[in-house]
Structure formats: structure tokens, C-alpha cells
Chains A and B, each alone.
Chain A
């Protein structure tokens, strides 16, 4: 009985250990994949060539511009629910500047970055993985390689750069909509003690370090989302059944990595 329990716990520990080692190897592999893509891009001399620049524009339009209506809706929803609630709650327990700092931290940097990243993972991460997987499966990627085109430079780097720019801009937009929208709605519905003066107070309490962290975090999120999607897209090789499997893995791993990176940045900052 005791032996069986020990063996069971050993098997659980072994499985956990193997899982952690596998995750570590995955992170290293993914990091090397992204670094190699950037190395190939940097080796070309000029920042972008005409063919790859079109891919960056395309990615920004798909990931950034096309996501604007959804981000606007989510920003307003967060403004209506969370910002206005925090305003009410904050006024009951602290000063106006405490409320402003709270809103800047929670809505302005945390929620805006995370919710934007979740939208991008669902919309763009899955699309990139499926798109590249399909192209790889049909031999389109190899067809370009055989024309002397570096697929890292042509497919991967433009998608990562486009996603990073889009993630950052959309997070700024989200934060603006959620904060302005929340304060505006609170004023509109006559919430006690709330005025548009709150916006000025929020601007005054913005910490430069917080801005730096916000920029870094969102660029990192964009790199994670597109890098993971490209990595899994290129894993589709032979069978169409690999396509949904890799797309699903890209989504799950992007979510895991984005939340892990967010937690890590919160701890070290």
C-alpha cells in the first residue's frame, strides 16, 4: 500500500518534471526561432524590402485596423463596468489621486494590455498559424524558398513586427476608450462626486516608469503572439489534421506565455 502510494507520487513528480522540462525546451526553441527570424531580417542590410514591407502593412491592417471595432466595444464595456465601478469604490475608500493611480494601474496598463492581447490571440494568432500552416502544407512556403526567398524574413519578421505595433497601438486605444469612456459614463449618469476633472487627475498621476513598462509589455505581447503563431504554423508539414492541432496549440501557448510574461513583469517591476 505504502509502496503503491510512493510509486504513484513518484510518477506524478516525474510527470511534472518532464512537463516542466518540456516547457523549458519549448521556450528555448521558440526564442531561438524568433531570434533567428530577426537575425535573417537584420542581415539583409535595409530595414525592409518592398516585398516584405507589404506583409508588414498587411499584418498591421489585419491585426490592428480590422480589430478596431471589437477593441472599441470591449473598451467601452470595460469603461462601463470596471472603470465606473472603480471610481465609485475608490471615492469611498481613498483620495482623488488614489483613485486616479488605481485606474491608471488596473485599467490603463493591466486590463488594456491583457484584453487586447486576448483579442489578438483569438483573431490574429489563430489566423497566422492557420494561414502559415496551410501555405506550408500546400508547398507554397517551399515554393518561395526555392526562389531564393528567406521565409523568416518574408513571413515571420513582418508578422511579428506588425503584431507588436498593432498590440501596442490597440492597447493605448483600449486604455483611452476604457478610461475616458468610464469617466464620461459615470459623469453622464450622475455618479456622486465624479467629474471630468478626474481625467486631468489621471493624467497628472501617470508614472513614467509605468509608461515604460506598458510599452515594453505590449511589444513583448505582440512578439509572443505572432512568434508563437508562426512557430506553430510552420510545424504543419504533411497532413491537414495537423492544421487544427497546431492552431489550437498556438492559441493555448500564446495565452500561457502572455499571462506568464505579465505576471513576471509585475513581479520584477
Chain B
């Protein structure tokens, strides 16, 4: 980790269950520039709930959360919306606006936030799509694109706002190995070339093994943070060993 202040600092963070009660286990962690942090664990372990709480998307039941050095909990509407420009969140399935085509989906947030004239925004969008090596058509509605193309467009529209931190929920869902490799290369470029911090909730352990600087393991019975794949594998926690199938 660099000497700079972390982008994200969570202390004893407990997300809420659907019924409003607090999660049993608190999470304490940091994310700095250029880091990739992966959230792994079995289904129902709370990966998405922790990710949403860390992104200040959902209000947690307890603990503290600082994003970019400022308290990110209890913000008013306009401050929270301003925060979203720096802390992007791509939800599961990368839902794009279904009534407009791919290119408009990418340019829309920048147009809304008045980040440039129409030609400037259009040029920036093309630059980002090129950076992402977007293989699909831009003039089609999202319904006519495959999951890999939709994910790239969802990432592109976030990048239009130049975020420093990006949260991705199951980005490798419903994509084949070749697409997963391309996506992994993009995440690597985002951290290496743009210095972004990434938090990724995923079941793709191949990606976690090769790219995660730190791993958050979430399980209904326990939550812990590991300094990479080796540390996770060396864990003697029964939940981790069962999840990784180590003793089988």
C-alpha cells in the first residue's frame, strides 16, 4: 500500500439484512490507489451486502466508512450524488438503460453532469470504448448485446465520470473464459494505468488468485481479510478451507 491516504477506510462496518437487522460480523479494511480487492465466499455469505455497504450504496447498520478521506455515511442527496462521480458502482448483470442504445448509455451520465460539449463527450466516449477494446456495436439497444458487451458499456459509462474507485458485483457472471480474460486485462489496466482502486465481488477464483492484492472472505459464520491468495489458502479457518475445498 502507498503512503497516501486510502480511498476507502471501513471500520467495524456491518451491513443490514433484508429485515433491517445488523450482520453478525463487522468488517474493517482499507483500499488504496491501484489496489484490487476481491470479495469472495459462498452464496449467501453477504458479498453483495458488504460491497454495497462499502460503496455507500446501502446504509450500514453500524460502523464507520470514509471515502476519499471523508465520512460517507449519512450524506444528503446532492453530496451523495457528487460522491458517485468518484466512486462508481456496477451492479450484478450490469443493467444499462434499456430504452437507449449503447453509445447513448455511455454518454448519458457525462451529458447529465455537463462534463463537456456534445462533441467533446462523444470523443471521450469513443476514447474510452477504444481503451476497453469494446468489440460490439454502439448503435444497438442493450437487449441486442451479449453480457460481455453490456458489461463493457456499463464500465465505460462509469469511466466517463473519471472515478477513482470502482465497485463491481459479479462482473464475470455469464461470460466465457475468453471474455473473462479480456475483462481481467481491463481491470489490470484500470489499476495500473489509471491508478484506480477496485473492489470486486466474484466467484471467479482464477482472477482472484492472479490479481487480488487483498481478499475479503465473507461467510455467514465469519468474515476476514487476507493479504492475497497465498494467505487465503494458508488459512486454517474451517469456513475458508471448506469453500476452497482444501481438505477434500
* A and B from one complex: yes
Task: Mark A residues whose CB is within 8 Å of B.
Answer: 43, 49-52, 131, 134-135, 138-140, 142-150, 154
Per-position contact with A for B72-99: 1 when CB-CB < 8 Å, else 0?
0000011001111100110111011111
A-B pairs with beta carbons under 8 Å apart, 20 shown? A43-B78, A49-B114, A50-B112, A50-B118, A51-B108, A134-B98, A135-B99, A139-B92, A140-B95, A140-B97, A143-B91, A143-B154, A146-B57, A146-B89, A147-B85, A147-B112, A148-B113, A148-B161, A149-B81, A149-B109
Contact A52–B98 (Cβ < 8 Å)? no
- Which residues from A are CB-within-8-Å of B96? 140, 143
Q: Are B111 and A138 in contact (CB under 8 A)?
A: no
Query: In the complex, which of the residues A43, A147, A154 has the most CB atoms of chain B within 10 Å of its own CB atom?
Result: A147
Instruction: Verify A139–B77 contact, CB threshold 8 A.
Output: no
Whether B157 sits at the interface, judged by CB under 8 Å, is yes
A142-B109 in contact given A135-B97, A147-B157, A150-B81 (Cβ < 8 Å): no
Kindly state whether residue B49 has any CB partner on chain A within 8 Å: no
B158 at the interface (CB under 8 A from A): yes
Chain B residues in 8 Å Cβ range of A51: 108, 111-112
A142 contacts B91, C-beta separation under 8 Å: yes
**CB of A145, distance to nearest CB on chain B (Å):** 8
Q: Which residues of A contact B118 (CB under 8 A)?
A: 50
Pairwise interchain contact A147-B95, C-beta atoms closer than 8 A: no
Residue of B85, B96, B154 ringed by the most chain A CB atoms within 10 A: B96
Inter-chain contact A143/B82, CB cutoff 8 Å:
no
Chain B 215-233 residues near chain A, CB threshold 8 A: none
**A148:B109 contact, CB within 8 angstroms:** yes
Contact A147 B111 (CB under 8 A): no
Could you say which residues of chain B place their CB within 8 Å of the CB of A148?
81-85, 109, 112-113, 161
Q: Judge whether A50 and B81 touch: CB under 8 Å.
A: no
**What separation, in Å, do the CA atoms of A102 and B25 have in the docked complex?**
74
State in angstroms the CA–CA spacing of A43 and B99 once bound together. Answer: 26
Q: How far is the CA of A50 from the CA of B119 in the complex (A)?
A: 13
Which residues from chain B contact A142 at a C-beta distance below 8 Å?
91, 95
Known interface pairs A135-B97, A143-B91, A148-B83; 18 further A-B residue pairs with C-beta atoms within 8 A, sorted by A's residue number: A43-B78, A51-B111, A131-B99, A135-B99, A138-B93, A139-B92, A139-B95, A140-B97, A140-B98, A143-B95, A144-B97, A144-B108, A147-B85, A147-B109, A147-B157, A148-B85, A150-B77, A154-B112
